[in-house]
Amino acid sequence: MCLALPARVISIDDGEMAVVALEGIKKRISLALVEDVSVGDYVLVHVGYALHKVSEEEAERTLALMSKAGVLSAEIEEIEGAEA
Amino acid sequence: MKYIDEFRSHDLAEKLATAITHEAATGRDYHLMEFCGGHTHAIFRYGVQDLMPPNVHFVHGPGCPVCVLPVRRLDDAVELAERHGVILCTYGDMMRVPGTKQRSLIRAKADGADIRMVYSTQDALKIARDNPDREVVFFAIGFETTTPPTAVAIVQAQREGITNFSVFCNHVLTPAAIQHILQSPEVRELGTVTIDGFLGPSHVSSVIGSQPYEFFAEEFQKPVVIAGFEPLDVMQSTLMLLRQINEQRHEVENEYTRVVKPEGNLKAQALVGDVFELRSEFEWRGLGTVPYSALKIRESYAAFDAEKRFALSEKVSREVKSCECPAILRGAKKPTDCKLFGTVCTPDNPMGSCMVSSEGACAAYWTYGRFRTNADGTAATKEAAE
């Protein structure tokens, strides 16, 4: 019920409605709950409404944070390898 | 798919798993409640559980709106369709949930009631526009994620002068439910449910922001990490929770920053505030009566309130006997503790809501087959061993 998917806005008509694309599927959704959305933006789509814009910058930051855990785990493996 | 594939990366998952194992190597157990059914499914579907060290436990929470709706409200919806002859519009998730005497919306539909599955409140409005001589009721359920779209529909109906449209409102609130769990006897007195921290809701938080969790993180000294629904989000958030627990911190942290802002979606909040107000109490399946945990339609929009438009009868509603959904929703039992699970109760013939909903814990256990084997490969149930 709370599931929502990030989809790309491909066109906006009369301000409140937009067409989004998700893996070749096109869907008409409402923009009534968001502001400042432009064509090309990714929005989180839930029951036919865009709930929020997806921040590209923050997505990259999160992935970088996850990779950091990777760096950490490589260090751990190195330490454990050295001990063994 | 952008923003999905990269958050399911195998390599990053392995690295995060190593970091989690390292962080959890303290000799103690960690019990983390994932509030949302969406997280429960991510944990099972992607095998996140199998990547965890044995001392990290996920406790499944009540964050499945279909599951927590009490049978009485479902019986009311069936009554609206059958006795009042309305066109009842519902999200698909509700169709097969068994009500009293296992009567579901889909059975009522089979018997001739005009019940229609909709994807969006916009579809329900369209049905109302197309059938001006019929009463159309939208069966509104869901947490804060699903409430704003209902608010939009009500405002739009008023603006367009659609008079044959109303809403049977069952919207519920996440923070009230989390607080209720933390105050429950199982957590406070009996100690049968241990919760060391919470994986906080993804999309609920995109609407309400991270601020509403601050109170109980502080009051109950439990850390909260708002987590996205992809498997790497769950793992990164688990790592962040373990760190907080190890450092004896109890803060609200946000892993899902690509969508969740501290203040949330202010436009959606304003709309919800305009259309709805708090109910002084609401019954939840599993949790019982929870104060200030649900919304009702404000007096200024009373014309669109199905509870005011139709006189619903007093009725005695009953759950299926021996269905453990209520205890499962409180985190007190696992689906495999229920004797109906996988025997009488399956997704094809569900006895309880947790097996019907795509976010229910029983459906997650069944669909991804996790009940069939233990982590060490031995059969988990007698049936699987045979």
Q: What's the pLDDT at B141? A: 97
Residue of chain B nearest A59, judged by CA positions: B258
Q: Does B22 touch chain A (CB under 8 A)?
A: yes
Structure tokens at B30: 């960690």
Q: Is A74 within 8 Å of B236 when comparing Cβ atoms?
A: no
Q: Does B384 touch chain A (CB under 8 A)?
A: no
Give the pLDDT band of residue B186 (cuts 50, 70, 90): confident
Q: What's the pLDDT at B385? A: 43
Nearest CB among B14, B64, B206 relative to A44 is that of B206
Mean pLDDT of the region B240-249: 97
Give the pLDDT band of residue B203 (cuts 50, 70, 90): very high
Q: Does B159 touch chain A (CB under 8 A)?
A: no
Could you give the CA distance from residue B367 to residue B376 in angstroms, rounded to a whole number?
A: 20
Place of tokens 């029951």: A47
Q: What's the pLDDT at B29? A: 97
Please count the CA atoms within 13 angstroms of the CA of A50 that sit on its side-chain side. 32
Domains of chain B with CATH codes: 1-321 (3.40.50.11740)
Taking 80 as the threshold, does the pLDDT of residue B61 lie above it? yes
Question: Which residues in chain B are contacts of A1 at CB distance < 8 A?
Answer: 37, 64-66, 91, 93, 141-143, 145-146, 357, 359
3-state secondary structure chain B: CCCCHHHHCHHHHHHHHHHHHHHCCCCCCEEEEEEEHHHHHHHHHCCHHHHCCCCEEEEEEEECHHHHCCHHHHHHHHHHHHCCCCEEEEEHHHCCCCCHHHCCHHHHHHCCCCEEEECCHHHHHHHHHHCCCCCEEEEEEECCCCHHHHHHHHHHHHHHCCCCEEEEEEEECHHHHHHHHHCCHHHHCCCCCCCCEEEECCHHHHHHCCHHHHHHHHHCCCCEEECCCCHHHHHHHHHHHHHHHHCCCCCEEECCCCCCCCCCCHHHHHHHHHHEEECCEEEECCCEEEECCEEEECHHHHHHEHHHHCCCCCCCCCCCCCCCHHHHHCCCCCHHHCCCECCCEECCECCCHHHHCCCCHHHHHHHCCCCCECCCCCECCHHHHC
Min distance A79 CA to chain B CA atoms (Å): 12
DSSP-derived secondary structure for A58-83: HHHHHHHHHHHHHHHHHHHHHHHHHH
* Interface residue of A1, A68, A76 to substitute, partner B, most B CBs within 10 Å: A1
**What is the tens place of the pLDDT at every residue in A28-58?**
999 999 999 999 999 999 999 999 999 999 9
Give the pLDDT band of residue A3 (cuts 50, 70, 90): confident
Q: Is B359 within 8 Å of A34 when comparing Cβ atoms?
A: no
Q: What's the pLDDT at B189? A: 79
Structure tokens at A23: 């893996």
**What is the tens place of the pLDDT at every residue in B108-133?**
999 999 999 999 999 999 999 999 99
Question: Which residues in chain A are contacts of B16 at CB distance < 8 A?
Answer: 66, 69-70, 73
Min distance A77 CA to chain B CA atoms (Å): 8
For residue A17, the 8-state DSSP code is E
Give the C-alpha distances (Å, rounded to integers) separating B70 from B84, B99, B138, B283, B285. Answer: 21, 9, 17, 7, 5
**What is the tens place of the pLDDT at every residue in B85-107?**
999 999 998 999 999 998 999 99
Residue of chain B nearest A36, judged by CA positions: B267
Place of tokens 């933390």: B182
Give the pLDDT band of residue B320 (cuts 50, 70, 90): confident
Cβ atoms of B76 and B49 closer than 8 Å: no
Cα B87 to chain centroid distance, Å, stands at 25
Q: Does A34 touch chain B (CB under 8 A)?
A: yes
Q: Does A10 touch chain B (CB under 8 A)?
A: no
Cβ atoms of B310 and B80 closer than 8 Å: yes
Burial A53-79 (b: 16+ CB within 10 A, else e): bbbeebbeebbeebeebbebbeebeee
Taking 80 as the threshold, does the pLDDT of residue B373 lie above it? no
In chain B, % of residues over pLDDT 90: 83
**How much is the ipTM here?**
0.90
Cα four-point dihedral sign B23, B25, B30, B33: positive
Mean pLDDT of the region A74-80: 68
Q: Does A80 touch chain B (CB under 8 A)?
A: no
- The CATH T-level fold of domain A1-53 is SH3 type barrels. (2.30.30)
How much is the CA Rg of chain A, to the nearest whole Å? 19
Question: Which residues in chain A are contacts of B270 at CB distance < 8 A?
Answer: none
Taking 90 as the threshold, does the pLDDT of residue A70 lie above it? no
Nearest CB among A33, A48, A61 relative to B257 is that of A61
- Planar angle of CA B203, B7, B365, nearest 5 degrees: 70
Give the pLDDT band of residue B262 (cuts 50, 70, 90): very high
More confidently predicted of A76 and B46: B46
For residue A56, the 8-state DSSP code is H
Q: B56-63 and B30-36: which strand pairing?
A: parallel
Taking 80 as the threshold, does the pLDDT of residue A80 lie above it? no
Q: Does B45 touch chain A (CB under 8 A)?
A: no
Q: Does A11 touch chain B (CB under 8 A)?
A: no
What are A53's strand-pairing partners? Answer: A43
Cα four-point dihedral sign B285, B213, B168, B106: negative
Give the pLDDT band of residue B380 (cuts 50, 70, 90): low
* Interface residue of B5, B7, B15 to substitute, partner A, most A CBs within 10 Å: B15
Q: What's the pLDDT at B103? A: 93
Taking 60 as the threshold, does the pLDDT of residue B367 lie above it? yes
Question: Which residues in chain A are contacts of B95 at CB distance < 8 A?
Answer: none
Q: What's the pLDDT at B383? A: 46
Could you give the CA distance from residue B215 to residue B55 in angstroms, rounded to a whole number?
A: 28
Cα four-point dihedral sign B225, B231, B232, B235: positive
How much is the CA Rg of chain B, to the nearest whole Å? 21
Q: Shortest CA distance to A58 belongs to which of B253, B258, B232?
A: B258
* Interface residue of B139, B242, B259 to substitute, partner A, most A CBs within 10 Å: B259
Mean pLDDT of the region B370-382: 56
Please count the CA atoms within 13 angstroms of the CA of B119 that sit on its side-chain side. 9
Q: Does A42 touch chain B (CB under 8 A)?
A: yes
**What is the tens place of the pLDDT at every residue in B34-59?**
999 999 999 999 999 999 999 999 99
Mean pLDDT of chain B: 92
Mean pLDDT of the region B215-234: 94
- Where do the structural domains in chain A lie, given as residue ranges? 1-53, 55-84
Q: What's the pLDDT at B386? A: 40
Taking 60 as the threshold, does the pLDDT of residue B363 lie above it? yes
Q: What's the pLDDT at B382? A: 44
Q: Is B145 within 8 Å of A51 when comparing Cβ atoms?
A: yes
